[in-house]
Each structure stands twice: as structure tokens, then as C-alpha cells.
Amino acid sequence: MNTPIRSCLWCLHVLWTIANLLFAGCSGIKWLGLSKANLTWTASQDCRYAFKMRYLDAGQQHFCKRYFEAMPYVAKASREARIACQTQFYHHRWNCSSVELAPNYLNDLKQGTREQAFVAALSSAAVVHSLAKACAAGSLPNCNCGPMPNEPPSGDFKWGGCADDVSYGMKVSRLFTDVPYNFKYQASYQQKKKDRIVTWKKSRMARAELTLHNQLAGRRVVESSLTRHCKCHGVSGSCQIRTCWKSLPTMKEISEQLYRNFKRAVEVRRQGITNSFEPIYPLISHLTAETLLFSSKSPDHCTPDEKFGSLGTKNRICNATSSGPDNCGSMCCGRGHFSYMKRVPVSCNCKYIWCCRVECQSCQQWVHVTRCK
């Protein structure tokens, strides 16, 4: 091979690497990495640091500077989303441990899988939740209690108290979580910055559309989970006057709803070369605005697959009598299981100490542990 051709190949390789770096923000939900960054959000250097660590992409770094006061609550959302996901999938073969890899996700969280759909919806939902609660708590300068409902109070209560400001949460979550997938923004930003026109790889663009849909579905689940909570006023607990306001359930409850949507998620494929999707099985697919969509099947997670991000289930704890996903037959994929006894500390000899706490001793107790072969 002569030198000009070789150096041209080399420069193509460099361009390709640069293009990949520029668009590193396109796959996966990298800002969940904020949950492990120990940032105090006292100065805007924190935005730059998070960008340098690739937890935030360029658009999110702009957001970070502009909505700086919201960042502690975005970071809180990243922790809540991680914990909610790992709690929800604790007893499953895929146990959400791969979100810890942010921002360097593996294929399970970047190829348009059902798992990625769940994490995208959950994390966008967590931002709505965290911001709406922060507004109601009076922690943010630009928002407050949510609006009083339009519907008149029926019968025995009146509207009062402080509602969670879901519309502010929805707006901020959309701005923050959608920007890495917003091509127009990305393209104009890149053009301004490098004066270079970048064409997106079509398949990546389509995958971004899916993520945008799933994030919106997650936010809608939060919005529709807003329910009435009431408080009684009156002499010694009598309920002479009742005031009610709209507030959000816990992240755990939102995550349970999203898990039901995960189970019913619909597999889709691109319509020709467009960026829209159609269900693979249109007759049995029931689509709503809150349906999660995925375009790539996941393996069964039984055996390790490093590239995909499957750890396999060897040595995972299972339960021989459970009828859930932690049942040994299902968790161990038919490889069988083994049991042993283990000593664990438990609270014992608890005493009530006036007033007002309980003191316990720590005792050792033998428990059965069952694990997959």
C-alpha cells in the first residue's frame, strides 16, 4: 500500500473517532452517572466537570448553567432512578446493575432494548418527580406549589395545601433529558462550534426517536399518577373541615407502574427509511401514550455475554418456593441450585426506652441461602 492511501485511511479513522466522541451522548442515559459523582453544585465548574466526565453532553451542560439551581434535584433524580431500577429488578436475571457503568454503557442500555426503554422512562420520570417535589417544598426560585385543580371540590372538602408542581417538573425534565436526542439542537450546536455539517447515522437517529418516545411515556406516567391527598382539620381529629391537594406517589410506586408498562412493552421496527415505527405484531399490540417501545430483542440473560452487558445468573440468590422471577428454576435457567446455611445478624431483645426509642441487641441467626449453580 502506498503512503498517501495509508495516511488517508488513517485520517478517516481519526475522523470516525472524533465523530463518535462528538456523538457519545446519543446512546444510553449517561447522566445517571451523576449519581456516583460527588458534586455539591455550588459553582458552575461542576457543570464543566460533569461534561468532562461525559455524564452530561453539550446540550445538557448548557442546561446545567442555565438551570443551575435545579441541578441538585436532577442529581437526586439520578440516584432515585438508579435505586428504583435496582429495587424493581432485584429478583430478576437482569438486575439493573449495568446502570453503574454510566457513562460507558453496554449494549443492554444502548441498542434499543426493552431494558433501555424502562431505564429511559424511569429516569425521565424521576426528574419530573424530584423537581415537582422540590417546587412544592419551596426549594426552587422559579416554581412553587402546583395550580389548584379546575374541577370544583366535590362535597365534603375544599382545595388547599400545596400541590406538587408537575407541569414545571415535566418542562424541566423534557429540556434536560431530551436534549441529547434532539438532532436539530445537536446539529446547530455542532455547526456553530465546528462549522462542520454532520450527518447522523440513520439507525442511530431512529433509536434516538425511540428513546424520546419512552422518556415522554415515563413523564406521562408521572403526570397521570397525580392523585388527591387530604388532611382533616377540626377539634381533636374530628373531620369537620377537609383540605385536599394533588400530590405524586413515591418513586417506588411510579417505578412499579413503569414495570407493568415494561412487561407490556411493544416491539417495533422502523417504517422503511423513515424515523417512525410500526409494531411488529400490529394485531396484538395495544398502543397508548404510555406504552414503552423497543426495537431490539434482549438475550435471556442466563449466561454471561460481556458485550451485551449480561452477567449471567451463576451464584445469584434464588428461592425454591417462590412463584416469582426469583424462582430457582427460572433464575438458574435449569442449571440447578445449591443451598447452605449462613449466620446473619438480626435485631433481638428489643426494649422500649422512655421516651421515645427502641434499643435492640444484635444476635446471630442461621438462615438458608440458595444460589444458582
Ligand X SMILES: *[C@@H]1O[C@H](CO)[C@@H](O)[C@H](O)[C@H]1NC(C)=O
Q: Which is nearer to ligand X, 274 or 339 (CB)?
A: 339
Which residue among 86, 144, 225, 285 contacts ligand X (CB under 6 A)? 86
Q: Which is nearer to ligand X, 20 or 315 (CB)?
A: 315
Q: Which is nearer to ligand X, 53 or 58 (CB)?
A: 53
CB of 259 to ligand X, least distance (A): 16
Beta bridge partners of 310: 305
CB of 324 to ligand X, least distance (A): 7
C-alpha cell, 314 = 451463576
Residue corresponding to grid cell 461534561: 51
Q: Which is nearer to ligand X, 282 or 345 (CB)?
A: 345
Q: Is position 109 an interface residue for ligand X (rule: CB under 6 A)?
A: no
CB of 95 to ligand X, least distance (A): 4
CA dist 163 and 236 (Å) reads 25
Q: Which is nearer to ligand X, 3 or 321 (CB)?
A: 321
Total residues at the site for ligand X (CB under 6 A)?
A: 12
Half-sphere exposure of 338 (CA within 13 A, CB side): 5
Q: Is position 95 an interface residue for ligand X (rule: CB under 6 A)?
A: yes
Q: Is position 97 an interface residue for ligand X (rule: CB under 6 A)?
A: yes
Question: How do beta strands 277-279 and 266-270 pair?
Answer: antiparallel
Candidate ranges 89-97, 195-203, 207-215, 281-289; the one touching ligand X (CB under 6 A): 89-97
Q: Which is nearer to ligand X, 312 or 325 (CB)?
A: 312
CB of 64 to ligand X, least distance (A): 19
Long-range contacts of 316-324 (CB under 8 A, 24+ apart): 316/93, 316/95, 316/371, 316/372, 317/369, 317/370, 317/371, 318/370, 318/371, 318/372, 319/370, 320/370, 322/91, 324/91
Half-sphere exposure of 204 (CA within 13 A, CB side): 15
Element counts in the chain: helices (H) and strands (E): 10, 8
Nearest Cα residue to 248 out of 127, 74, 108, 348: 127
Q: Is position 236 an interface residue for ligand X (rule: CB under 6 A)?
A: no
CA dist 266 and 272 (Å) reads 18
What binding mask, one character per residue, do residues 301-340 give for ligand X by CB under 6 A, x or -?
----------xxx--x--x-xx------------------
Considering only residues 35 to 74 of the shown chain, the ones binding ligand X according to CB under 6 A are 38
Q: Which is nearer to ligand X, 97 or 347 (CB)?
A: 97
CB of 294 to ligand X, least distance (A): 21
CA dist 121 and 88 (Å) reads 14
Site for ligand X, rule CB under 6 A: 38, 86, 90, 95, 97, 311-313, 316, 319, 321-322
